[in-house]
Amino acid sequence: MLGASQADRRLLPEGRLAGPMPWVIAIMMFLTALAAAAGLAMGDAAHRLGGDLGRQVTVQIVAADPGVRDREADAAQHVLANQDGVSGLHKLGGDEMQALLQPWLGDAGLDRDLPLPAMIDVDLTDAGRARLDRIAAALVVAAPHARIDDHASWLAPLVALIRSLGLLAGGIVAMMVGATAAAVVLAARSALNTHRQTIDVMHMMGSTDAQVARLFQRRLALDALFGAVVGLVGAIVVILGIGRRLGEIGSGLVGSITLPWTAWAALLALPILAGLLALAVARITVQRALARTL
Amino acid sequence: MAGIVQFENVGLRYGTGAETLSDLSFSLAQGSFYFLTGPSGAGKTSLLRMLYLSQRPSRGSIRLFGEDVVQLRRARLPGFRRRIGVVFQDFRLIPHLSAFDNIALPLRIAGVDERDLVTPVREMLAWVGLADRASARPPTLSGGEQQRVAIARAVIGRPEILVADEPTGNVDPEMAARLLHLFDALNTLGTTIVVATHDIHLLSRVASANVMRLEHGQLQDPTGALRYPPRADAEGHG
Ligand SMILES: Nc1ncnc2c1ncn2[C@@H]1O[C@H](COP(=O)(O)OP(=O)(O)OP(=O)(O)O)[C@@H](O)[C@H]1O
Ligand SMILES: [Mg+2]
């Protein structure tokens, strides 16, 4: 459909048909790509938070007597190791505990006598997550001072927030598609007005509507594609910049916001979709305008 | 034989005023040559526009090539228009196309291969005396040169009907005679020709031509040759 003969090409004057349309589309593509990237990254992050972190629990054994605490910690590890659905166990050692507490207590505050709970990080499989209640019940029998800290319970609101931000981004992308179509309609109408005389003459010589539409749709689609590529390049520069900043922060949660390769592929497909959208919209606009003439 | 063009009780009204044209009933015979005359504003261009399918009549019926074109589906109009060549009163050349490309336009619209159109277009340019202006754009041509390009464009597709609205308005008498000769030659090849003009000197130039005269929106038909339905003695009814 994009192919046009030399003759077709010459029927309209050289140069841009679309006026400012490509730049409007460039701006919209820039915003669309940012919104889409944000949405895709959010979706990915929510998925992985809900997945990896959501399948972790921490078992704390809070007992003042170090003897009781160590005994129950060993018992708890033993019980957990024999439960279905537990895929990994890791008891935090003294150094790790110190590293965790150091931001709050400082170097000086750490003291051998400070009664710290024993902590065991537990990785669960999906099946393990489902039977967390039963694992907890078994655990309490062996280690009465054990408490289970379920990461999913404090992650859930965060995951929900991230999900709704992702939906918002999707909504913005949908609105941008509508605005892009509107920009193409305006450009097509103005191109039709500008070239009204040429179209009239072609009609009088027996041009079909499809022949006339072909002249416009190809040029308008290429103009839209040009704008879309410009906008996308700008957006990619910004996305890479933000990605580097996020990487520098390097914290667990923020660090989990990245773009998977499927998201990159979706972003790169946007200009092609914009071009096809412009092609279809221009064709429909021109044909409908022509249908009103004799 | 039924005419290649048949108007029956055709009326045309622009907007809400009086009818610009009323009660037009006539039949044009295939292969004949017609002049359409009448004072300025009589409605010659309006009549021709209905004939070349750029204007629908307000009432009445128009048949072209034996088919009613008033009720024609839009999609079928291009097919009819390709059989009619038009020289517009205001030329309507496409300003950014060269003389060559303007003349080639009907062939390209009809889908003629690029290789096959160079020779006919060059011949046509030569015939209207513009062989050396092939690459000139209309704005750089004189009025008479533009008119000749318009005529070349109208006849290049070998139309069955040629409609020309004041085709000699901008050329000197010598060129006018040459162009009429061109029309006459096409007519000899079988093309039905309709030429609107208020230049009465032209009328005598084509011996075989019929003359239609428009006045006050009505067709004066002194000879009765154009009457439709034809007279009883010509067709046996009416
Ligand atoms: N599109 C239009 N809208 C309204 N009125 C029109 C339109 N075209 C023509 N007219 C009117 O119809 C009448 C006939 O016009 P037309 O152009 O057919 O005359 P004409 O015989 O071709 O004149 P000329 O010899 O000057 O070319 C005129 O009064 C004109 O003002
Ligand atoms: Mg006129």
pLDDT tens for residues A94-113?
777 777 777 777 666 556 66
pLDDT averaged over chain A? 82
Say what the pLDDT of residue B131 is.
Answer: 94
B43 alpha carbon – ligand 2 mean position (Å): 7
Domain final position from A116, A144, A172: A144
pLDDT at B238: 33
Token code pair at residue B61: 């019926």
Q: Is A58 within the bounds of a domain?
A: no
Q: What mean pLDDT do residues A164-176 have? A: 88
Mean pLDDT of all residues belonging to chain B: 88
Residue A150 resides in a domain: no
Residue B167 CB less than 6 A away from ligand 1: no
- Which of B75, B81, B96 lies at the smallest CB-CB distance from A204? B81
B45 pocket-lining for ligand 1 (C-beta < 6 Å): yes
CA–CA dist B132, A73 (Å, integer)? 104
How many domains are there within chain A? 2
User: Which residue's structure tokens are 């700008």?
Assistant: A234
Q: Domain boundary residue among A101, A119, A144?
A: A144
Residues written for chain A: 294
Q: Is B14 in the pocket of ligand 1 (CB under 6 A)?
A: yes
- The reply to whether A172 and A288 lie within a common domain is yes
Q: Are residues A213 and A140 in the same domain?
A: no
Q: What is the pLDDT of residue A1?
A: 40
Range of the domain at A96: 63-144
Whether the predicted pLDDT of B233 surpasses 50: no
Per residue in B97-141, pLDDT (tens digit) is 999 999 999 999 998 988 999 999 999 999 888 999 999 999 999
The neighbouring-strand residues paired with A150 are A57
Under the banding of pLDDT at 50, 70 and 90, the label for residue B227 is: low
| DSSP E strand stretches across chain A | 56-61, 86-91, 118-124, 146-150
Whether A197 sits inside 8 A of B55 (CB atoms) is: no
CA of A165 vs chain B CAs: smallest distance (Å): 50
Give yes or no for residue A137 having a pLDDT over 90.
Answer: no
In a domain, A152, yes or no: no
pLDDT band at A3 (very low <50, low <70, confident <90, very high): very low
pLDDT tens-digit map of B37-48: 988 889 999 999
Instruction: Tell me the pLDDT band of A2, cut-offs 50, 70 and 90.
Output: very low
pLDDT, average across residues A194-218: 89
Average pLDDT for A10-16: 66
pLDDT value for A101:
73
How large is the average pLDDT for residues A9-20? 68
Task: For residues A124 and A87, state if they share a domain.
Answer: yes
Query: Does the pLDDT at position A45 exceed 80?
Result: no
Q: Look at residue A8 in the predicted model and tell me its pLDDT.
A: 61
Lowest mean pLDDT among A43-47, A159-163, B127-131, B215-219: A43-47
Look at ligand 1, atom 31, and give the residue with the nearest C-alpha: B41
AA letter at A244: R
How far is residue B191's CA from residue A267's CA, in Å, rounded to a whole number?
Answer: 60
User: Are A86 and A225 part of one and the same domain?
Assistant: no
Taking an 8 Å Cβ-Cβ cutoff, which residues of chain A contact chain B? 5-7, 10-11, 13, 197-198, 200-209, 211, 291, 294
Residue A33 lies in a domain: yes
Residue A56 forms part of a structural domain: no
Strand (E) or helix (H) holding A241: helix A209-249
Do residue A43 and residue A67 come from a single domain?
A: no
pLDDT reported for residue A132: 82
A133 and A254 housed in the same domain: no
Residue located nearest, by CA, to atom 2 of ligand 1: B14
Write down the pLDDT at residue B139: 95
Instruction: Say yes or no: CB of residue B43 within 6 Å of ligand 1.
Output: yes
Atom of ligand 1 nearest to the CA of B44: 21
Q: How many helices (H) and strands (E) does chain B have?
A: 8, 10
Instruction: Give SS3 for A208.
Output: coil
Q: Which of B227, B220, B194, B192 is nearest to B7 (CA)?
A: B227
pLDDT at residue B181, as a whole number: 87
Q: Other C-beta atoms within 10 Å of A73: how many?
A: 22
Alpha carbons A83 and A123: distance in angstroms, whole number: 12
Among protein residues, the one whose CA lies closest to atom 30 of ligand 1: B41
Query: Ligand 1: does its nearest atom lie under 6 Å from the Cβ of B96?
Result: no
Whether A46 and A174 share a structural domain: yes
Tens-digit pLDDT profile for residues A210-258:
988 888 888 889 999 999 999 999 999 998 888 888 777 765 555 556 7
Q: Is residue A121 part of a domain?
A: yes
pLDDT in tens, B182-206: 899 889 999 999 999 988 888 888 8
What is residue B194's predicted lDDT score, i.e. its pLDDT? 95
What is the rounded average pLDDT of the residues B25-36?
Answer: 92
Taking an 8 Å cut-off on Cβ atoms, the answer to whether B52 and A5 are in contact is no
Q: Which amino acid is at A48?
A: R
| Domain stop point among A144, A175, A209 | A144
Residues A211 and A89 placed together within one structural domain of the fold: no
The pTM (predicted TM-score) of the whole model is: 0.73
Contact A200 B92 (CB under 8 A): yes
In this prediction, residue A254 carries a pLDDT of: 58
Residue A171 and residue A34 share a domain:
yes
Q: Is the pLDDT of residue A39 over 50?
A: yes
Residue A149 in any domain: the answer is no
Return the pLDDT at A77.
86
How far, in Å, CA of B181 to CA of B203, rounded? 12
In this predicted structure, which of A155-169, A186-200, A278-292, B96-110 has the lowest mean pLDDT?
A155-169
Contacts of B58 (CB under 8 A, 6+ apart): B11, B12, B13, B19
Report the range of poorest mean pLDDT among B13-22, B199-208, B209-218: B199-208
Query: Is A268 a member of any domain?
Result: yes
B198 CB near ligand 1 (under 6 Å): yes
Q: Is the Cβ–Cβ distance between B87 and B167 less than 8 Å?
A: yes
User: Shortest Cα distance from B232 to chain A (angstroms)?
Assistant: 36
Strands in B59-64's sheet, in edge-to-edge order, are: B21-28, B5-12, B59-64, B67-68
Q: B37 alpha carbon to ligand 2 midpoint, in Å?
A: 10
pLDDT score at A276: 93
ipTM computed for the complex: 0.84
Instruction: Determine, for residues A208 and B97 on separate chains, whether the beta-carbon distance falls below 8 Å.
Output: no
Residues A281, A173 share a domain: yes
Pocket test for ligand 1, best of B36, B45, B199, B219 (most atoms within 8 A of CB): B45
Residues A168 and A286 in one domain: yes
Q: Separation of B141 CA from ligand 2 center, angstroms?
A: 22
Nearest to B101 among A10, A201, A294 (CB): A10
Confidence of residue A48 (pLDDT cuts 50, 70, 90): confident
**Residue B55 near ligand 1, beta carbon < 6 Å:** no
A87 and A43 part of one domain: no
Q: Tell if the CB–CB gap between B109 and A207 is shorter than 8 Å.
A: yes
